[in-house]
Amino acid sequence: MNLEEMLKTFPLPPAPKTPVRLGVIGCGGIARNAHFPALKTLLDLGWPLSVSAVCDLKAENLELARRAFPSAKAHTDSVALLKSDEADAFLFCLFPEVVEKLLPLCFERGIPLLVEKPVSHDPARLLAFAEEAERRKAVVQVAFNRRFASGAKAVRESLGKESLTGAAIRFWRRDRVASNFYHDTMVHAVNLAQYFLGPLTLERAEGGGPQSGSPLTPWIIARLRAPSGVACELDVRPAVGQDTETYEFFAQKRTHHWAFAAITGSQGGGRWAVLEGGQQDCRFDFNAALAKDPSEEMSLMRGFTHQLAHFLSGRGLPDFDPVSSLRTAWETASLSDRIREQAGANVNGH
């Protein structure tokens, strides 16, 4: 399936009717490797979009951002940039402690914002931000990109028609540092489970053996319960020598299997298949090269392009639904914290 076919199957929202000037604060790895390629794809498709300003404290990051967007004005003072009129909306790719300092100014100035997760490591502070955003009707979309990934919405709609009996999620990484994995990567699986199944409660979590010098564990298995009563097993592991990300949903007569390809090579596709009666119905398989380079392909597959398009297209609408709001981020952070805490208390089932 090529790019044109993919966008016919999973179309982007309508492009904005008027030009949008986007400012980017934080031009490190996640910005360059995921968000910049998404921006380039939309520009190639003719969206009325420009990156008007880029901001970072590191000269190297600013130089790389200017190479990607030569017309953008470079800044090192994020507060001054937010107080200027150089952009109509902003993308934040920042550490949580920096986001926490800038969010109040964004609320005050009514700045539409797409912000990388997790926003804050403190669930209580995240809830306060969510309540303030709701009070002010602020436009804030949190970048849990997998909710916009290839086919995620179609899978969710299909699951809504099923009488599910169970679910299983496996989120493994080849070689991640455990502390980063459990605080930054595991939340993707938790957030997507909430997207597919609704608000989840934790019944039990256990971890597998403490690592030397660290309270974190090399694996966590958690049992979650959806409002429908469906149980979901979450199996997350930071360093098992392979990349695996699968979401399975079991009904009476069939199984929905949704997966991402391993994060190697092209960093490609997503695949959704329905298994029933010994037969496999492949609804889509996006493992072929779709874009000009691997980073643009990854941005398409993992939802960064559709996520950005959703934000830019809908940010000015009075009933804008960010799909992943600050309250959503709080729900994910709170559940993830409980999983980590209980797993740490139940090492090897004790």
Report pLDDT digits (tens) over 102-134.
999 999 999 999 999 999 999 999 999 999 999
Terminal CA-CA length for the chain: 48
Q: Which residue has the higher pLDDT, 297 or 189?
A: 189
136-180 pLDDT tens trace: 999 999 999 999 987 899 999 999 999 999 999 999 998 898 888
Q: Which residue has the higher pLDDT, 52 or 11?
A: 52
CA trace torsion 152, 158, 160, 164 (10° rounding): -100
53-75 pLDDT tens trace: 999 999 999 999 999 999 999 99
* Rounded Cα–Cα distance for residues 149 and 321 (Å): 17
| Whole-number percent of the chain with pLDDT over 70 | 90
Structure confidence at residue 264 as a pLDDT band (50, 70, 90): very low
pLDDT average, residue stretch 285-307: 72
The answer to whether 218 and 238 have CB atoms below 8 angstroms apart is yes
Residues in the chain: 350
| Token pair in block for residue 332 | 């994910």
320-345 pLDDT tens trace: 999 999 999 999 999 999 999 999 89
Q: Tell me: pLDDT of 349 over 90.
A: no
* Rounded Cα–Cα distance for residues 272 and 88 (Å): 37
287-297 pLDDT tens trace: 544 555 666 76
- The single-letter DSSP state of residue 72 is S
Structure confidence at residue 261 (pLDDT): 65
Give the chain's radius of gyration (CA, Å).
20
The owner of tokens 């409660």 is 201
This prediction's pTM: 0.92
Neighbouring C-beta atoms of residue 200, cutoff 10 Å: 22
Structure confidence at residue 217 (pLDDT): 63
The owner of tokens 């086919």 is 151
85-104 pLDDT tens trace: 999 999 999 999 999 999 99
* Rounded Cα–Cα distance for residues 180 and 186 (Å): 9
Which fold does the domain 150-293 belong to in CATH?
A: Dihydrodipicolinate Reductase; domain 2 (3.30.360)
Q: Tell me: pLDDT of 300 over 80.
A: no
For 304-320, give the DSSP string: HHHHHHHHHHHTT-TT-
Structure confidence at residue 33 as a pLDDT band (50, 70, 90): very high
Q: Tell me: pLDDT of 348 over 80.
A: no
Q: Helices marked H in 114-245 — which ranges?
A: 123-136, 152-159, 178-180, 186-197
Structure confidence at residue 266 (pLDDT): 41
